[in-house]
Amino acid sequence: MRAQINRLAQGGRIDRSEHLNFRFDGEAMRGHPGDTLASALLANGVQLIGRSFKYHRPRGLMAAGGEEPNGLVRLRTGGRAEPNVRATEVALYDGLVAESQNRWPSLRFDLGAVNDRLSPLFPAGFYYKTFMWPGNMWPAYEAVIRRMAGLGRAATAADPDRYEKQYAHCDVLVVGGGPAGLAAARMAGRTGARVILADEGAEFGGALLGNDQEIDGAPGMDWVGAMAAELANSDNVRLLPRTTVAGYYDHNALTMLERVADHGPAPEPHQPRQRLWQVRAKQVVLATGALERPLVLANNDRPGVMLAGAVRGYVNRHAVRPGRRAVVFTNNDSAYGTALDLAKAGIDVAALVDLRAETPLGWVAALDDAGIEIMAGRVVSAVEGRRAVEAVRVGKLNDTGTGLVGGLGRRLDCDLLCLSGGWTPSLHLLSQSGAKLLWDEGLGCFLPGRAQQAVRVAGAANGAFSLGDCLALGAEAGNRAANDAGHRRRGRGPRHAMAGEEPALTPPLPIWKIPGDDAGKAFVDFQSDVTAADLELAAREGYRSIEHVKRYTTTGMGTDQGRTSNINALGIVARALDVPIPQVGHTMFRPPFSPVTFGALAGRRIGPLLDPVRRTPMHGWHQDNGAAFELVGQWHRPYYFPRAGEDKDQAVDREVLAARTSVAIMDATTLGKIDIQGADAAEFLNRIYINGWKGLAVSGCRYGLMLGEDGMVFDDGVTARLGPEHFHMTTTTGGAAHVLDWLESWCQTEWPELQVYCTSSTEQWAVAAICGPMARPLLAELAPDWDLSAEAFPHMTWQDGAVAGLAARVFRIGFTGELSFEINVPAGHGMALWNALMTAGQKYAITPFGTEAMHVLRAEVGFIMVGQETDGTVSPQDLGLGRMVSGKKDFLGKRSLSRAHSLRTDRPQLVGLLPQDTNLRLPEGAQLIGGADPSPPQLAMGHVTSSYRSPNLGRTFALALLHGGHERHGETIYVAFDGQAVRAEVTAPRFLDPGARAK
Amino acid sequence: MANYSIFTLARNALRRHRDWPQAWRSPKPRPSYDAIIVGGGGHGLATAYYLAKRYGMHDIAVLEKGWIGGGNTGRNTTIVRSNYLNPESAAIYDHALKLWEGLSQELNFNVMFSPRGVINLAHDPGEERELMRRIYANQLAGVDAEWVTPTQLAELCPILNLDPNIRYPVVGGTLQRRAGVARHDAVAWGYARGADKQGVDIIQNCEVTGFDIQAGRIEGMRTSLGDIRAPLVGVVAAGHSSVLAAMAGIRLPLESHPLQALVSEPIKPVMPTVIMSNKVHAYMSQSDKGELVIGAGIDGYTSYAQRGSLPVIEETIRAVVELFPITSRLKMMRQWAGIVDICPDASPIISDTPIGGLYFNCGWGTGGFKATPGSGHLFAHTLAKREPHPINAPFALERFYSGALVAEHGAAAVAH
Amino acid sequence: MLLLDCPWCGPRSEEEFACGGEGHIARPLNSENMDDAAWGDYVFMRSNHKGVYFERWRHGLGCGRWFNIARSTISHEILAIYHVGDAKPELPE
Amino acid sequence: MSQARHEPLAHLALRAPISAASDDAAADDATVTGDASGVAGVTMAALPYRPSLILRGESDDAAFLQGCRGALGFDLPVAPNHGAMSDGIAALWLGPSEWLVLGRGCGKRLAETLAGCRHALVTNGDGQQVIALSGPRGGDVLAKLCPLDLAGGALGPGRCTRSVLAGIAMTLWIRPGGVYHIHVGRSFADYAWRILADAGLEYGMAAVAMVDVVAMADADPVVDVE
Ligand SMILES: Cc1cc2nc3c(=O)[nH]c(=O)nc-3n(C[C@H](O)[C@H](O)[C@H](O)COP(=O)(O)OP(=O)(O)OC[C@H]3O[C@@H](n4cnc5c(N)ncnc54)[C@H](O)[C@@H]3O)c2cc1C
Ligand SMILES: NC(=O)c1ccc[n+]([C@@H]2O[C@H](COP(=O)([O-])OP(=O)(O)OC[C@H]3O[C@@H](n4cnc5c(N)ncnc54)[C@H](O)[C@@H]3O)[C@@H](O)[C@H]2O)c1
Ligand SMILES: Cc1cc2nc3c(=O)[nH]c(=O)nc-3n(C[C@H](O)[C@H](O)[C@H](O)COP(=O)(O)O)c2cc1C
Ligand SMILES: [Zn+2]
Residue A212: the pLDDT is: 79
Which of D106, D123, D140 is at the close of a domain? D123
Smallest CA separation from ligand 3 atom 16, residue: B75
Number of continuous H segments (helices) and E segments (strands) in chain A: 23, 50
Nearest CB to B254: which of C1, C48, C76?
Answer: C48
Residue of C nearest to D79 (CA): C8
Best of D161, D170, D171 to substitute, by most chain C Cβ atoms within 10 angstroms, is: D161
- Which alpha helices (DSSP H) does B221-371 contain, by range? 241-247, 310-323
> Edge-to-edge, what's the strand order for the sheet holding D179-185?
D160-165, D168-175, D179-185, D128-134, D42-47, D205-209
DSSP state of B356: B
C-alpha–C-alpha distance, residues A16 and C31, integer Å: 85
CA torsion D137-D142-D143-D146 (nearest 10°) is 180
Residue A149: the pLDDT is: 85
The residues facing B334 across adjacent strands are B263
Are the C-beta atoms of B241 and B363 separated by less than 8 Å? yes
Contact C46 B240 (CB under 8 A): no
Contacts of A256 (CB under 8 A, 6+ apart): A198, A240, A243, A244, A245, A246, A276, A277, A279
C-alpha–C-alpha distance, residues A383 and B125, integer Å: 65
Among B263, B274, B286, B331, residue to substitute to test ligand 3 (most atoms within 8 Å of Cβ): B263
Smallest CA separation from ligand 2 atom 28, residue: A288
Q: Which residues of A touch C75 (CB under 8 A)?
A: 434, 452
Please check whether residue B108 lies inside any domain of the structure.
yes
End-to-end CA distance of chain C: 23
Atom of ligand 1 nearest to the CA of B236: 26
Instruction: Say yes or no: B176 and B270 in one domain.
Output: yes
Measured from the alpha carbon of residue B46, the closest ligand is 1
Q: Tell me which amino acid residue B21 is.
A: P
Contact A750 C27 (CB under 8 A): yes
How many Å lie between the alpha carbon of B267 and the closest alpha carbon of chain A? 4
Q: What is the CATH number of the domain that holds D157?
A: 3.30.1360.120
Are the C-beta atoms of B284 and B324 separated by less than 8 Å? yes
Strands (E), A220-287: 237-240, 243-248, 253-259, 274-286
Instruction: Say yes or no: D142 and D68 in one domain.
Output: no
Instruction: Say yes or no: B91 and B162 in one domain.
Output: yes
| DSSP-based helix, strand, coil % in chain A, nearest 5 | 25, 30, 45
D 95-134: CB under 8 A from A = 97-98, 118, 120, 122-128
Residue A488: the pLDDT is: 83
Contact A748 C84 (CB under 8 A): yes
Please check whether residue D178 lies inside any domain of the structure.
yes
Helix (H), strand (E) at residue A567: helix A566-577
C-alpha–C-alpha distance, residues B171 and A278, integer Å: 35
C-alpha–C-alpha distance, residues A706 and A690, integer Å: 6
Residue A361: the pLDDT is: 87
Measured from the alpha carbon of residue B67, the closest ligand is 1
Residues B368-406 as b/e (b if ≥16 CB within 10 A, e otherwise) read bbbbbbbbbbbbbbbbbeeebbebbebbbbbbbbbbbbb
Contacts of A209 (CB under 8 A, 6+ apart): A13, A201, A203, A221, A224, A313, A316, A317
C-alpha–C-alpha distance, residues A125 and A548, integer Å: 11
Please check whether residue C16 lies inside any domain of the structure.
yes
Instruction: Say yes or no: B103 and B69 in one domain.
Output: no
CA torsion A562-A565-A571-A575 (nearest 10°) is -100
**Interchain CB contact of B315 with C (< 8 Å):** no
Contact D3 A832 (CB under 8 A): yes
Which domain, by its residues, includes B60? 28-78+184-254+345-402
Contact A741 C65 (CB under 8 A): no
Nearest CB to A761: which of D6, D124, D202?
Answer: D124
Full-model pTM: 0.96
Contacts of A200 (CB under 8 A, 6+ apart): A65, A66, A89, A242, A243, A244, A594
Instruction: Say yes or no: D174 and D142 in one domain.
Output: yes
For B55-79, what is the mean pLDDT?
98
Instruction: Say yes or no: D41 and D100 in one domain.
Output: no
- Which alpha helices (DSSP H) does A825-873 contain, by range? 830-841, 851-860
**Interchain CB contact of A147 with B (< 8 Å):** yes
Best of B241, B250, B301, B353 to substitute, by most chain C Cβ atoms within 10 angstroms, is: B301
Are the C-beta atoms of B85 and B408 separated by less than 8 Å? yes
CA torsion A956-A959-A963-A968 (nearest 10°) is 60
Q: Which CATH code for domain A1-160?
A: 3.10.20.440
Instruction: Say yes or no: B247 and B349 in one domain.
Output: yes
Give the number of C-alpha atoms closer than 13 A to the C-alpha of residue B331, restricted to the C-beta side.
27
Atom of ligand 2 nearest to the CA of A65: 37
Q: At what angle do helices A566-577 and A546-553 cross, to 10 degrees?
A: 120
Please check whether residue B264 lies inside any domain of the structure.
yes
Atom of ligand 1 nearest to the CA of B63: 43
CA torsion A567-A569-A574-A575 (nearest 10°) is 110
For ligand 1, residues with CB inside 6 Å are: B 38-44, 63-66, 70-73, 75-79, 207-208, 236-238, 240, 244, 259-261, 295, 338, 340, 364, 366-370, 416
Which domain, by its residues, includes D112? 52-123
pLDDT bracket for residue D120 (50, 70, 90): very high
Please check whether residue B9 lies inside any domain of the structure.
no
Q: What is the CATH number of the domain that holds D71?
A: 3.30.70.1520
Contact A899 C58 (CB under 8 A): no
C-alpha–C-alpha distance, residues C54 and C88, integer Å: 8
Best of C8, C29, C36, C69 to substitute, by most chain A Cβ atoms within 10 angstroms, is: C36
Domains A163-290+425-499 and A764-844 share a fold: no
- What CA–CA distances, in Å, run from B3 to A385, B49, B194, B195, B198? 39, 17, 11, 15, 14
Residue A498: the pLDDT is: 65
Query: A521-595: which CATH number, 2.40.50.140, 2.40.180.10, 1.10.10.1100, 3.30.70.890?
Result: 1.10.10.1100
Instruction: Say yes or no: B93 and B176 in one domain.
Output: yes
Q: Which residues of C touch B309 (CB under 8 A)?
A: 1-2, 14
C-alpha–C-alpha distance, residues A146 and A745, integer Å: 52
Domain count for chain C? 1
- Which alpha helices (DSSP H) does A485-562 contain, by range? 532-540, 546-553
Instruction: Say yes or no: D150 and D185 in one domain.
Output: yes
Q: Which residues of A touch D194 (CB under 8 A)?
A: 608-609
pLDDT 10s digits, C17-71: 999 999 999 999 888 899 999 999 999 999 999 999 999 999 999 999 999 999 9
pLDDT 10s digits, D16-73: 443 333 333 333 333 344 444 556 889 888 888 889 999 999 999 999 999 999 999 9
- What CA–CA distances, in Å, run from A990 to A513, A732, A860, A928, D219? 81, 21, 6, 19, 51
In percent, the amount of chain A with pLDDT more than 90 equals: 91
For B375-381, what is the mean pLDDT?
98
Residue C93: the pLDDT is: 61
Domain count for chain D? 2
Please check whether residue D5 lies inside any domain of the structure.
no
CA A656-A658-A663 angle, to 5 degrees, is 125
Contact A590 B335 (CB under 8 A): yes
Residue D40: the pLDDT is: 80
Q: Tell me which amino acid residue A50 is.
A: G
Which of B314, B342, B370 is at the close of a domain? B342
Atom of ligand 1 nearest to the CA of B361: 26
> How many beta carbons lie within 10 A of that of residue A583, not counting itself?
10
Smallest CA separation from ligand 1 atom 31, residue: B41
**Closest by CA position to A720, among listed A705, A740, A737, A703:** A703
Instruction: Say yes or no: D60 and D44 in one domain.
Output: no
Instruction: Say yes or no: D147 and D210 in one domain.
Output: yes
Please check whether residue D4 lies inside any domain of the structure.
no
Please check whether residue D225 lies inside any domain of the structure.
no
Are the C-beta atoms of A281 and A254 separated by less than 8 Å? yes
Atom of ligand 2 nearest to the CA of A502: 43
Please check whether residue D93 lies inside any domain of the structure.
yes
A 553-612: CB under 8 A from D = 604-605, 608-609, 611-612
Are the C-beta atoms of A62 and A11 separated by less than 8 Å? no
Which of B296, B323, B342 is at the close of a domain? B342
Are the C-beta atoms of A160 and A261 separated by less than 8 Å? no
Among B37, B49, B68, B76, residue to substitute to test ligand 1 (most atoms within 8 Å of Cβ): B76
Instruction: Say yes or no: D80 and D147 in one domain.
Output: no
A764-844 fold: Gyrase A; domain 2 (3.30.1360)
Instruction: Say yes or no: D131 and D28 in one domain.
Output: yes
Instruction: Say yes or no: D139 and D29 in one domain.
Output: yes
Query: What is the ipTM metric for this complex?
Result: 0.96
Are the C-beta atoms of B263 and B87 separated by less than 8 Å? no
Residue B411: the pLDDT is: 63
Which of D123, D149, D174 is at the close of a domain? D123
Please check whether residue D226 lies inside any domain of the structure.
no
> How many beta carbons lie within 10 A of that of residue D62, not counting itself?
9
Average pLDDT value for chain D: 83
Which of D90, D123, D156 is at the close of a domain? D123
Three-state DSSP class for A427?
A: coil
Chains that touch B (3 or more CB pairs under 8 A): A, C
C-alpha–C-alpha distance, residues B19 and A61, integer Å: 36
Residues near ion ligand 4 (CB < 5 Å) are C 6, 8-9, 59, 62-63
Smallest CA separation from ligand 2 atom 24, residue: A176
Ligand 2 centroid–CA A181 distance in Å is 8
- CATH number 3.40.30.10 given to A294-421: no
Instruction: Say yes or no: B135 and B264 in one domain.
Output: yes
A672-763 fold: Alpha-Beta Plaits (3.30.70)
Smallest CA separation from ligand 3 atom 24, residue: A588
Phi-psi category of residue B163: left, alpha or beta, with phi > 0 → left and psi -120 to 50 → alpha: beta
Q: Which residues of B touch C21 (CB under 8 A)?
A: 255, 302
**Interchain CB contact of C47 with A (< 8 Å):** no
**Interchain CB contact of A135 with B (< 8 Å):** yes
Instruction: Say yes or no: D72 and D117 in one domain.
Output: yes
**Closest by CA position to B141, among listed B95, B101, B90:** B90
> How many beta carbons lie within 10 A of that of residue A630, not counting itself?
17
pLDDT surpasses 70 at B246: yes
Instruction: Say yes or no: B112 and B154 in one domain.
Output: yes
Q: What is the CATH number of the domain that holds C17?
A: 3.30.2270.10
Instruction: Say yes or no: D138 and D211 in one domain.
Output: yes
- CATH architecture observed for domain A904-987: Beta Barrel (2.40)
pLDDT surpasses 60 at D225: no
Domain count for chain B? 2
Q: What is the CATH number of the domain that holds B42?
A: 3.50.50.60
Which domain, by its residues, includes C57? 3-25+39-82
- Which alpha helices (DSSP H) does A149-232 contain, by range? 179-190, 220-232
For ligand 2, residues with CB inside 6 Å are: A 175-181, 198-201, 206-207, 244-245, 287-290, 333-334, 423, 426, 429, 459-461, 465-467, 470, 593
End-to-end CA distance of chain D: 15
Contacts of D29 (CB under 8 A, 6+ apart): D11, D12, D13
**Closest by CA position to B364, among listed B260, B238, B252, B268:** B238
- What CA–CA distances, in Å, run from A917 to A913, A914, A920, A981, A982? 11, 8, 5, 12, 8
Are the C-beta atoms of A362 and A346 separated by less than 8 Å? no
C-alpha–C-alpha distance, residues A438 and A435, integer Å: 10
pLDDT surpasses 80 at B148: yes
Mean pLDDT in runs of 10 for chain A (999 residues)? 95 97 98 98 96 94 97 97 98 98 90 89 94 88 89 94 98 98 97 97 96 90 96 98 98 98 95 98 98 97 98 98 98 95 97 94 92 97 96 96 94 98 97 97 94 97 94 96 90 64 74 93 97 97 97 97 96 97 96 98 97 97 97 94 97 97 97 98 98 97 97 96 98 95 97 97 98 97 95 97 96 94 97 97 98 96 94 96 96 96 96 98 98 96 97 97 98 97 97 79
Measured from the alpha carbon of residue C18, the closest ligand is 4
Query: A163-290+425-499: which CATH number, 1.10.510.10, 3.50.50.60, 3.40.720.10, 2.30.30.90?
Result: 3.50.50.60
Contact B302 C40 (CB under 8 A): no
Instruction: Say yes or no: B190 and B242 in one domain.
Output: yes
Instruction: Say yes or no: D56 and D106 in one domain.
Output: yes
**Closest by CA position to B357, among listed B202, B200, B206, B211:** B211
Q: What is the CATH number of the domain that holds B175?
A: 3.30.9.10
Instruction: Say yes or no: B164 and B100 in one domain.
Output: yes
C32 burial type by CB count under 10 A (0-12 exposed, 13-18 middle, 19+ buried): exposed
A25 burial type by CB count under 10 A (0-12 exposed, 13-18 middle, 19+ buried): middle
